[in-house]
């Protein structure tokens, strides 16, 4: 590493591994980073990614089978490119604290190690990794410890920490492991944090933000997608007893025909189930199941329904005109919930750009 040298070309470009529907690529583009390509093995991401991430190539590939030299040739990449960012936001079910089928997600546990293979080959100026906090708690098993050791041995300055995205312009409490590595100078790069008040649910959804009141089962065929799941009659009745602005299932827990059998005598657990968001607090983590009232605190603060697709998307900080294309509302919800919040990605990109321009 040559500290203090001047770089004539200040442009930055990135390849986004495990790109999904494009949350990270979207945010990086907003920060002024050119996205060369997004790579994902899921064909269901392709149309959404290509529609929104203009100028980028979508490569459908399994990272376990993709070879470094093939990617180099396909994208005309150079090794040791100071202006190249390699981004790896791998699916992370295996390391998540959320109950998942570990056998089903077994393959995902080695994705970080596969990404490391490309970093070692290309040795880019910058590396970004975003994942669940579990990869840090299990840093030896996840391969993170060895990866950080290699980066530091190669002269990279490595920042890694668990961040709450609410500190970075995202109206939800979403804790994520983030690593930013830089071999261009001696500066550790941190995502750019908010200095003022944090955003809340009220700042992005509701009638004042252009979300008209709707009922369960509403289907919005426009690109705005203010569509919401339907509810059974008993669930509709349950929600009438859930207090507005932050209430939970305890509102109907003592009404025999409404109480869920699995919660009889268990009032103190899983209180977020059938829970409403608070207007003046950030949302909880927007998961792939935000479309369902029984999978977390995903009930609208005052309307008796779940969040709509577009409400989930704006809570994830996707632009209001971002187009999600999939065969079902459930598939669209997965694209939204699995994404890196674009605003958080932008803050990472802005920090890298600021550091790079200072050289």
HEC string of the chain equals CCCCCCCCCCCCEEEEECCCCCHHHHHHHHCCCEEEEEEECCHHHHHHHHHHCCCCEEEECCCCCCCHHHHHHHHCCCCCCCCEEEEECCCCHHHCCCCCCCCCCHHHHHHHHHHHHHHHHHCCCEEEEEECCHHHHCHHHHCHHHHHHHHHHCCCEEEEEEEEHHHHCCCECCEEEEEEEECCCCCCCCCCCCCCCCCCHHHCCCHHHCCCCCCCCCCCCCCCCCCCCCCCHHHHHHHHCCCCCCCCHHHCCCCCCCCCHHHCCCCCCCCCCCCECCCCCCECCCCCCCCCHHHCCCECCCCCCECCHHHHHHHCCCCCCCCCCCCCHHHHHHHHHCCCCHHHHHHHHHHHHHHHHCC
Which residues are catalytic, by number?
Answer: 92
């Amino acid at each position: 590493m040559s500290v203090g040298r001047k770089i004539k070309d200040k442009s930055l470009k990135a390849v986004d591994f495990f790109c999904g529907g494009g949350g990270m690529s979207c945010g990086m583009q907003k920060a002024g980073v050119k996205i060369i390509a997004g790579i994902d093995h899921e064909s269901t991401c392709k149309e959404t990614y290509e529609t929104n991430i203009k100028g980028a190539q979508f490569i459908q590939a399994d990272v376990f089978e993709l070879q470094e030299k093939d990617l180099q040739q396909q994208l005309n990449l150079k090794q040791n490119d100071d202006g190249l960012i390699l981004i790896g936001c791998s699916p992370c079910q295996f390391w998540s604290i959320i109950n998942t089928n570990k056998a089903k997600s077994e393959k995902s546990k080695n994705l970080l190690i596969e990404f490391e293979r490309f970093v070692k080959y290309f040795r880019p100026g910058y590396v970004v990794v975003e994942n669940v906090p579990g990869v840090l708690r299990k840093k030896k098993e996840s391969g993170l410890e060895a990866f950080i050791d290699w980066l530091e041995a190669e002269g990279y300055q490595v920042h890694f920490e668990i961040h709450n995205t609410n500190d970075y312009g995202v109206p939800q409490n979403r804790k994520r492991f983030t690593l930013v590595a830089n071999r261009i100078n001696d500066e550790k790069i941190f995502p750019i944090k908010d200095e003022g008040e944090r955003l809340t649910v009220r700042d992005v959804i509701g009638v004042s933000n252009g979300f008209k009141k709707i009922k369960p089962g509403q289907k919005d065929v426009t690109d705005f997608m203010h569509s919401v799941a339907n509810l059974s009659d008993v669930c509709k009745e349950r929600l009438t007893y859930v207090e507005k602005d932050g209430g939970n299932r305890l509102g109907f827990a003592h009404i025999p025909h409404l109480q869920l059998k699995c919660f009889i005598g268990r009032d103190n657990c899983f209180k977020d189930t059938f829970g409403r968001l608070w207007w003046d607090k950030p949302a909880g983590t927007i998961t792939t199941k935000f479309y369902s009232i029984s999978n977390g605190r995903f009930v609208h603060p005052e309307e008796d329904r779940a969040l709509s697709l577009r409400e989930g998307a704006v809570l994830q900080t996707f632009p209001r005109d971002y187009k999600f294309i999939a065969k079902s509302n459930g598939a669209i919800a997965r694209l939204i919930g699995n994404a890196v919040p674009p605003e958080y990605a932008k803050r990472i990109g802005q920090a890298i750009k600021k550091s790079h321009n200072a050289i």
